[in-house]
Amino acid sequence: MPTAIHHQTALDNLVHTSEQEVLMKQSQRWLGAAVIGCLWGLTGCGTWMHSDKQSVTIFTTPPEAAVIIDDYLHLTAPGTVTLSRKGDHLAQANKDGYEPTSLKIDRTWSWWVLGDIFGCFIIFSPICIMNDIEQGGYYTFDDKVYVTLNRSTASIPALSK
């Protein structure tokens, strides 16, 4: 009789081992799918994760200056504007009694470039890199831009003696 119990225990162990192997293979598949999904998610991540546009707040000294960006966006500073990351922008600030001032709003490289390069290198998809370059996902602006206007010499009254 101990032999029958021994065989039953061995059979139970075999069944448990088989179930464990199945569960392990399933978890490995899920892990593999998760890794592939993460790598795929990194491709084009600059545009996907932080958009092709960015809000930038413009401050002027003195305040209440009229600001025109790229000849079509108008605001009174301080104010926030949404800019396309596809290129640099030009801001022109004007206020009565002050010299008009121009300021180039330059984009800089974003840290999303690293995720894109890593993800695209793993799955070898240069399309994602090209997409981020064209859409502006590789770039970012300063969140705040400061412009100082100088007093106009023509507006300073002459001192009389």
Q: What is the DSSP secondary-structure string of 77-97?
A: SSEEEEEETTS-EEEEEE-TT
Q: Could you tell me which of 112, 111, 118 has the C-alpha nearest to residue 47? A: 112
For 6-33, write each residue's pLDDT tens digit: 555 554 554 555 677 767 777 777 877 7
* pLDDT value for 32: 74
Structure tokens at 40: 């795929």
**The pair of three-digit structure tokens given for residue 18, joined into one six-digit string:** 């088989």
Q: Yes or no: is domain 45-152 CATH 2.60.40?
A: yes
Instruction: Select, from the ranges 45-54, 84-93, 147-156, the one with the highest average predicted confidence (pLDDT).
Output: 84-93
Give the model's confidence band at 161: pLDDT under 50 very low, under 70 low, under 90 confident, else very high.
low
Query: Is the per-residue pLDDT at 43 higher than 70?
Result: no
Per-residue pLDDT of 64-117, as tens digits, reads: 999 999 998 899 999 999 999 889 999 999 999 999 999 999 998 887 677 666
Q: How is the beta sheet containing 66-69 ordered, strand by strand?
A: 73-76, 66-69, 89-94, 101-105
Give how far the C-alpha of residue 101 lies from the chain's centroid of Cα atoms, to the nearest Å. 29
Helices (H) and strands (E) in the chain, counts: 4, 9
Strands of the sheet with 53-61, listed across from one edge: 79-84, 53-61, 144-148
pLDDT at 148: 94
pTM above 0.85, yes or no: no
Q: With cut-offs at 50, 70 and 90, classify the pLDDT of residue 41.
A: low
**Kindly report the CA angle at 51 between 139 and 119, in degrees rounded to 5?**
70
H or E element, residue 4? helix 2-42
Q: Return the exposure string of 11-44: e unless at least 16 CB atoms fall within 10 Å of the residue's CB, then b.
A: eeeeeeeeeeeeeeeeeeeeeeeeeeeebeebbb
pLDDT in the model for residue 36:
67
